[in-house]
């Protein structure tokens, strides 16, 4: 199947300028949709899942980024249209599952955001469900992840919740800890075939404790910056590393001194009633 570049080239060679222009118009619809969502309901504050970054490597957690995000406005670059299309497919598949859980009566909560009183982070389980005819009144965190066929087949072959989708496993463990719901279901959906597989897991307090420790550290770092204007060390070696270029706090991280950051200062600190709008339900 030809890619987007091949399609544009074929259109130019064939003289079909309408098709070439139409493709640009259709791609722009995805960009405009992302801009509108960002403008109407911008994400603020620290989502709890951010603390699940690796402990080593180039993608490891950057405490400096999150401290700056507490006090200064981030700058988010829009993703490319092909990436936006992929994300939107996953968005609608999440919506499909959530509506089915709600319609069936199994859903106790759908996409409800909580603000943790101790750490101030927000978290939004996809679904919290109950299956009375299977397990009585037991509650389950439902963590939904969409995958392409290759990744899905590998996940099924591994048949292990942590190895099949480590991100879903860590997120489910964190949500179980924060909501006091001791069991979770990881639901993996094949975007190519609509097959799905589920894994049921229990809260592992030993596994999740290092990530909870990070939240304790962040609270201390917030206080230190508020009182002493001292920031954690940078993870990036310079402002032009690939990671730094993708960081929403890059502009305020690499200024010469704290005074230069004042133009990016938040008018007020993060809104404690912020709701996560990764999925917006028409019913609401």
SS3 for 267? coil
Q: What is the pLDDT of residue 276?
A: 37
The model's pLDDT over 162-187, given as tens digits with 9 standing for 90+, comes to 999 999 999 999 999 999 999 999 99
Q: What is the pLDDT of residue 14?
A: 64
pTM of structure: 0.83
The model's pLDDT over 81-90, given as tens digits with 9 standing for 90+, comes to 888 898 889 9
Distances (CA, A) of 144 to 21, 68, 94, 187, 269: 36, 30, 7, 5, 31
Number of neighbouring beta carbons within 10 Å of residue 144: 22
Task: Tell me the C-alpha distance between 200 and 13, whole Å.
Answer: 53
**Sign of the torsion angle spanned by Cα atoms 85, 90, 96, 98:** negative
Q: What is the pLDDT of residue 257?
A: 81
Residue 55 sits at φ, ψ, to 5 deg, of -90, -15
Task: Tell me the C-alpha distance between 96 and 191, whole Å.
Answer: 12
Q: What is the pLDDT of residue 97?
A: 97
Task: Tell me the C-alpha distance between 242 and 57, whole Å.
Answer: 13
Q: Model confidence at 263, in pLDDT bands (50, 70, 90)?
A: confident
Higher pLDDT, 34 or 95: 95
Q: Which residue has the tokens 């990070």?
A: 214
Rounded to the nearest 10°, the torsion over CA 186, 192, 193, 194 is 40
CB 188 within 8 A of CB 155: yes
SS3 for 61? coil
The model's pLDDT over 138-156, given as tens digits with 9 standing for 90+, comes to 999 999 999 999 999 999 9
Task: Tell me the C-alpha distance between 255 and 131, whole Å.
Answer: 53
Task: Tell me the C-alpha distance between 252 and 63, whole Å.
Answer: 14
Q: What is the pLDDT of residue 9?
A: 65
CB 137 within 8 A of CB 63: no
């Amino acid at each position: 199947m030809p890619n987007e570049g091949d399609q544009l080239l074929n259109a130019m060679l064939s003289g079909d300028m309408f098709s070439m222009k139409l493709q640009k118009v259709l791609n722009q619809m995805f960009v405009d949709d992302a801009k509108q969502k960002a403008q109407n309901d911008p994400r603020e504050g620290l989502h709890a899942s951010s603390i699940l970054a690796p402990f080593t490597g180039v993608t490891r957690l950057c405490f400096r980024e999150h401290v700056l995000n507490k006090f200064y406005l981030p700058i988010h670059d829009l993703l490319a249209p092909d990436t936006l299309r992929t994300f939107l497919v996953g968005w609608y598949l999440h919506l499909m599952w959530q509506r089915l859980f709600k319609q069936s009566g199994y859903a106790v909560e759908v996409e409800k955001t909580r603000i943790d009183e101790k750490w101030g982070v927000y978290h939004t389980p996809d679904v919290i469900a109950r299956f009375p005819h299977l397990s009585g009144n037991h509650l389950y965190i439902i963590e939904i992840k969409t995958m392409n066929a290759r990744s899905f087949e590998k996940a099924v072959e591994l048949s292990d919740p942590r190895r099949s989708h480590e991100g879903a496993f860590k997120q489910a463990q964190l949500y179980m800890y924060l909501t006091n719901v001791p069991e979770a279901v990881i639901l993996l959906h094949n975007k190519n075939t609509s097959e799905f597989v589920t894994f049921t897991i229990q809260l592992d307090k030993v596994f999740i404790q290092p990530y909870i420790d990070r939240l304790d550290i962040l609270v201390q770092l917030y206080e230190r910056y508020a009182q002493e204007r001292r920031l954690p060390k940078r993870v990036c070696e310079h402002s032009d590393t690939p990671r730094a270029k993708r960081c929403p706090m890059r502009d305020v991280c690499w200024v010469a001194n704290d005074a230069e950051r004042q133009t990016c200062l938040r008018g007020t600190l993060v809104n404690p009633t912020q709701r996560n709008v990764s999925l917006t339900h028409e019913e609401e």
